[in-house]
A = this chain, B = another copy of it.
Amino acid sequence: MEFKHQATVTLAEVAEAAGVGESTVSRVLRNHGSFSGRTRERVMAAVERLGYVPNRIAGTLASTGSRLVAFVIPSLSNIVFPDVLRGASAVLEENRYQAVFSVTDYDPGQEEALAAAMLAWRPAAVMLAGYEHTEGTVKMLRASGCRVVELLDLDGDALDIAVGFSNRAAGRESATFLLERGYRRIGYVGHDLNRDTRAGKRFSSFCATLAARDAPLVGREIVAGASSVENGRLGLQRLLARISDLDAVYFSNDDMALGGYFHCLAEGIAVPSKLAIFGYNGLDIGRAMPQPLSTIRTPRVATGKIAAQLVVANAPPQTVDLGFELIEGATA
């Protein structure tokens, strides 16, 4: 029960204390190979007595595969990524895998640097957002031999495993929904599209669908900085200042849409009769609004979960489409 105030109890010391060989201790601790019940007890007693904590660094070096899973994500501000991590971490913890992460801030160059740093830990898998990577990143990942999982995007070619849904389809369905509801003068409020390429895909496919149905996008407002409620409110305000006769606005995501909704509330703009609002992500918050938000619900947690399960199972290369769900809501 007593832990020694030493950071340095080693397997060899446990073996010594238990009066058995090192490999026997290793076998007992990993519950791998065979050993007698009596040996097990003696080893466990010594472990307990010395407060031994196995050294996974050494263990990983000595054995073939690691149990690290590396996440290289664009952001932690955008709820999407914490949600993915959440879905994945439960599965990983159950299977005694360890999650490691770093944040690229939507910068492909940074992604490359961080992916390289990650590979130095020899992870079992690297999880990345989407398909847009630098040539260098792709080359490194290919050469590394470790599993690669691309998340939240299916519009492109997968390196290995891909889990998510089509952003293009999401953009298309959003446009179709608005058109079918009779909206014709449609605008867009979004954040930086060059950085968030998935939002860019939604937008371009949204526009293409509108154009194909003879109701091309009337106007757009791209705010600087990350998506946020404040930026959504600001963006809508600016857009309406330029083009006052819109009948619907498509937002780059729910945070932005909520900001737009707040703007309407504050300005007394009736939603959806005067102006319809449509979001993306299907956050919990949208359901609690006085008028439920019309949006597309994406399987963020499930994406993380499935991705982790495939890695743990060392599944063959594949692309898993988890789809999404259009929520009619009351704002469009």
Contacts and interface: CB of A to CB of B under 8 A. Distances in A.
B1 A316 contact: yes
A12 interface: no
Interface in A217-232: 228-230, 232
A313 to B, nearest CB: 10
A9 B309 CA distance: 29
A204 interface: no
A4 B145 CA distance: 7
A53 B100 contact: no
A103 B93 contact: yes
A79 B1 CA distance: 34
Given A56-B120, A56-B121, A117-B96, A5 B143 contact: yes
A229 B290 CA distance: 12
A119 B5 CA distance: 12
B232 A259 contact: no
Interface stretch (A38-46, A181-189, A281-289): A281-289
A65 interface: yes
Contacts of A1: 314-316
Nearest to A66: B57
A43 B199 CA distance: 42
A329 to B, nearest CB: 14
B143 A4 contact: yes
Given A3-B140, A51-B139, A85-B101, 15 more contacts: A1-B314, A1-B316, A3-B139, A3-B316, A4-B64, A4-B143, A5-B143, A6-B143, A8-B144, A53-B144, A56-B121, A93-B103, A98-B117, A100-B100, A229-B285
